């Protein structure tokens, strides 16, 4: 059975539980990277993406927390390193939410900043929780919820993945606009980070459930070509010794930390073609 049919069959077997919140409840226990939910619990440190983007000073507070964590581990926290980490961590939120729901349910949420939230870890200040708060979604014609008022039906998988790409780019555009002035990272670097976050999330969604090939296939569908302002088509490649790998488009600047070097797939090490 093809992946699309498996996802639709999973939804169909759950009867009346056909909305996006039901999808999130089904997906949550099938991944191990973060808390994944459809609501915001009280008395916890959740932040809506829209609130963060509307007040870029929150990025400065986030980077200060990160700097304290890095200084505790490495003895230093270069500004470009904190900027690179926060770039990757923020973009992971919409990318991972989209990737999980595409992989497991063949559904795509709208990814609006006001409909996404995240919670930072108490120790390492990365997103430990992601909440998808909107109810509307895109789906395929065979989805049991195709007639639901909250569902928008698209023609086929290529149209569904194109919609995921468009919704993600719309969110990332707002992030780039808000983060560029406070991070001093260029737009090319920020869009490279957006490309990395999207492809890595699509790949991971398959890997973490033992179906890496499906993750690679999803990445190839979503990034079937270079779709500006994203900076490349899928960069995944198969190596006989290492299996599936990908070259990064962006730099995390970890090499600026004491006694650290560039990552193996760092774009700084890219050989001329």
Residue 26's contacts (CB-CB under 8 Å, 6 or more residues apart) are 10, 14, 104, 105
Over residues 150-206, the pLDDT tens digits come to: 999 999 999 999 999 999 999 999 999 999 999 999 999 999 999 999 999 999 999
**What average pLDDT does range 258-267 have in this prediction?**
80
Among 57-61, 177-181, 259-263, the range scoring the smallest mean pLDDT is 259-263
Q: What is residue 165's predicted lDDT score, i.e. its pLDDT?
A: 98
Confidence of residue 11 (pLDDT cuts 50, 70, 90): very low
Alpha carbon distances (Å) from 65 to 6, 69, 85, 199: 42, 6, 12, 27
CA 188 to CA 61: how far, in whole Å? 24
């Amino acid at each position: 059975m093809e992946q699309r049919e498996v996802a639709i069959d999973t939804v169909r077997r759950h009867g009346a539980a056909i909305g996006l919140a039901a999808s999130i409840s089904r997906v949550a226990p099938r991944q191990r990277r973060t808390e994944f939910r459809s609501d915001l619990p009280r008395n916890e440190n959740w932040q809506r993406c829209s609130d963060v983007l509307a007040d870029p000073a929150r990025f400065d507070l986030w980077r200060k927390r990160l700097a304290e964590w890095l200084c505790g581990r490495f003895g230093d926290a270069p500004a470009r390193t904190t900027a690179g980490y926060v770039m990757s961590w923020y973009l992971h939120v919409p990318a991972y939410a989209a990737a999980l729901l595409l992989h497991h349910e063949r559904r795509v949420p709208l990814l609006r900043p006001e409909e996404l939230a995240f919670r930072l870890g108490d120790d390492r200040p990365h997103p430990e929780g992601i909440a998808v708060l909107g109810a509307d979604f895109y789906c395929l014609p065979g989805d049991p919820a195709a007639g639901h008022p909250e569902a928008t039906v698209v023609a086929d998988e290529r149209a569904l993945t194109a919609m995921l790409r468009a919704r993600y780019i719309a969110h990332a555009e707002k992030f780039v606009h808000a983060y560029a002035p406070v991070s001093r990272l260029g737009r090319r670097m920020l869009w490279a980070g957006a490309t990395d976050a999207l492809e890595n999330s699509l790949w991971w969604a398959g890997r973490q459930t033992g179906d890496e090939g499906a993750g690679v296939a999803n990445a190839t569908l979503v990034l079937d070509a270079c779709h500006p302002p994203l900076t490349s088509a899928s960069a995944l490649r198969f190596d006989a010794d290492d299996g599936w790998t990908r070259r990064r488009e962006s730099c995390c600047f970890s090499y600026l930390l004491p006694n650290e070097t560039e990552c193996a797939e760092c774009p700084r090490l890219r050989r001329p073609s």
